[in-house]
Structure 1
Amino acid sequence: MIYGLGLLAFSYIAGQLFGDFLGELIGVQANVGGVGFAMLLLVLLHNYCKKKNWVKGSFDEGISFWSQLYIPVIVAMSASQNAVLAFKNGFLPLIAGVGIVALGFILVPVVSKIK
């Protein structure tokens, strides 16, 4: 499926640029969340295009396909990060990781009630 690949490429490049910019801004000389920002941008652009009725048929299916495939790619890219080096630099990564997981658990009942 090549439908939606342009939107995926745009989202990925924009997310990487934003992640690099954010890393430089906070002084870590690394990409900070570029892949996550790219995924968020892909989802937001897809929803925006659907609301404007710009996507139909195969194009919509292609974007949905790439959106679903993107999550395992993010997990694989995250697994390749150097977690040991991050923990050697302080407890902030541990606090951030535990905090976001706790927030996810807290929000499950709230999100499940949304219709």
Structure 2
Amino acid sequence: MIIYGTALLALCHLLGIFLGDLLGQALGVKTNVGGVGIAMLLLITARIYMNRKGILPKLTELGVEYWGAMYIPVVVAMAAQQDMVSALRGGPVALLSALAAVAVCAVVISLINRMEHPVASSLAEPVRNDNPLLNEAE
């Protein structure tokens, strides 16, 4: 059920936007601060959690993977709508909050990467060809 992957993305997006608004209010900025990034981190965390618990069906995972891949163009489009000049004129709070959001995202992504286990390679034995001309070089 691919639609469940879309529902999971929508839930993470709404929660991320809400948390981004709360972070903006806490920093004294009247805008969303890092809501889309928070939503992406929530989506990654939810996928890993559900995968480890065995409650993520393959079709749902396909929906999550599809929207995860589509998320980058969405983030670029949303960033293009923001006015960076007025944000920088607004004072150092906007710049400091942006740097803090990037730092927190980098730390969380690093932690998530360290939590995942690498996939074992199935190329243990070399493939032999029955063609005698190709086997002469060995």
Q: Report the equivalent of 2:77.
A: 76
Give the alignment partner of residue 99 of structure 2, picking from 86, 96, 101: 96
Name the CA distance, whole Å, in 2 between partners of 1:14 and 1:74.
Answer: 16
Gaps of 5+ in 1: none
Establish whether residue 4 from structure 1 lines up as the match of residue 5 from structure 2: yes
Superposition RMSD on alpha carbons, in Å? 2.6
List per-residue Cα deviations over 1:73-102 (Å, max 9, x = no partner).
011101111011012224536x939x86xx
Would you say how many aligned residue pairs link Structure 1 and Structure 2? Answer: 103
- Runs (4+) of structure 1 moved beyond 2 Å? 89-93
Name the CA distance, whole Å, in 1 between partners of 2:4 and 2:90.
Answer: 42
TM-score (norm: length of structure 1): 0.77
Name the CA distance, whole Å, in 1 between partners of 2:58 and 2:69.
Answer: 17
TM-score (norm: length of structure 2): 0.65
Q: Report the equivalent of 2:123.
A: none
Instruction: Specify the SS of the correspondent of 1:67.
Output: helix
Amino acid at match of 1:96: L
Q: Report the equivalent of 2:24.
A: 23
Name the CA distance, whole Å, in 1 between partners of 2:20 and 2:85.
Answer: 21
**For residues 48-67 of structure 1, what are the structure 2 equivalents within 5 Å?**
48-67=49-68
Q: Report the equivalent of 1:13.
A: 14
